[in-house]
Structure 1
């Protein structure tokens, strides 16, 4: 059953998990070719949906076993008109992909949601451009017009909210928020950061958040950081200011490599899950509203388990040794 969009449970307290690096897991762990780094074609075939079920299963089971909520993303990060056209998808095709993605997410929610593990269906939007660069920008008005059709499709589905992930400059975020406001959809904004803690556009994170809030009436329900390693932004979020209270979630990369280095990499850098968990714990000490714990490029369910255990040890199952052994066995059969 869809949640009421005005009362999303992650806004009331308690931790929520997400999945990890969908695309990197599919490419490096499952050996699937993803042209344009787009996972959405998989949702349109039974074989593809079977692969996606296998990908999401360990994340959902982790949340269910630990009685923690889960933000379940649609696989639609690349379903805007520019990326769709590169892959041969029309506007009508992309709208059908979005609807099918929500339906698929709802099926997973029906299988795993419990009273103690609420699952939020999160309609994902990606940047019009690369996601690592800010070299082809739009005005806020252009961005609103560009992204509005995607948000309108999500509005008419069972999606509980929308999130724009891996944004590189404030104007695109402003346009997305205005489009979401116009269509009555709760929206979260997630910026990506470079190794210096700034957006690819050069804006500081504080500047970006303040600018979006000032021009949209604090429109986003919250902000997140994704596709950057904690070492890239730890010092950034230690700056004083109430703006930090607007950051509710982190979806970090496993690797500390730069975006340019990751783009050129031919092998996956999984980093150190335990170290990543400790860094999340330190970030939570600084970001008092941080409740959404997830991963991005290079992370898998091992990282999410480590993050969960570091940040929410009370949710770990009663027998730590038995739990970890079971998790390791599940990982071995999944990867």
Structure 2
């Protein structure tokens, strides 16, 4: 039986404005793929990301280019060979996982997790702003156990101090989004260590991070923009202590699992992260994050409205997806 493929561009408003070192956005633009076979249908969502040369149009075109292969039954292994890592492959791969689960009656978590999935704590992201504005955000979310703080400009030490003072009981991850420089990284790292920061994501631009091999890692440093697939890991040896695995970067759950397993073999800590998307995008990542050191899967918490049904969040604790959503 042939399969049908539905590709939909969708927009979800963000609650307020989401700001990082590269700019601001007020809505999440996503692409949803639905692969149907008979009475069964599986869905996957991706978020095209301009930093990686992606746009809604180009990702849609990449998906459409394999429409015939999907119709003729291409599986996830074939997809890995046919498409490059990125958002397009992610949407299709996750839709195939969901379709397989629906058709077999066997939940997706059986192929992902070593044990039945459980609720996990996710970071909650604070947008980049003035130290005063970021302190206000931190104070509003001071009861959350894990905060991810967007930085990456002048006065970052002031921002860090303001956030830590406003949320003294929260564990802090800093995400510079490639915004630091060789000139300020050591001072920023020292301040972060003094203030008890748990992890720093991608302080320097990908490919311009060689100084990380020579300086003291007073706080563990996590690769984000520098790592997409498992094959990227060898060149990160001696530079990073952890990797941020995102399904949109890796090109789906299948590739993300390969990246996770290889990172563990190399002794790297694991963060499972996300773009700003809906619960459909987060659902497979919640399974991947079951044994991660950090989870940053707060995309739906940043939206003014999530898709329904969605994941269940209780504060910063997110439960595994129900089959009506995914898997």
* TM-score (normalised: structure 1): 0.46
Task: Name the structure with the higher strand share.
Answer: 2
Task: Name the structure with the higher helix share.
Answer: 1
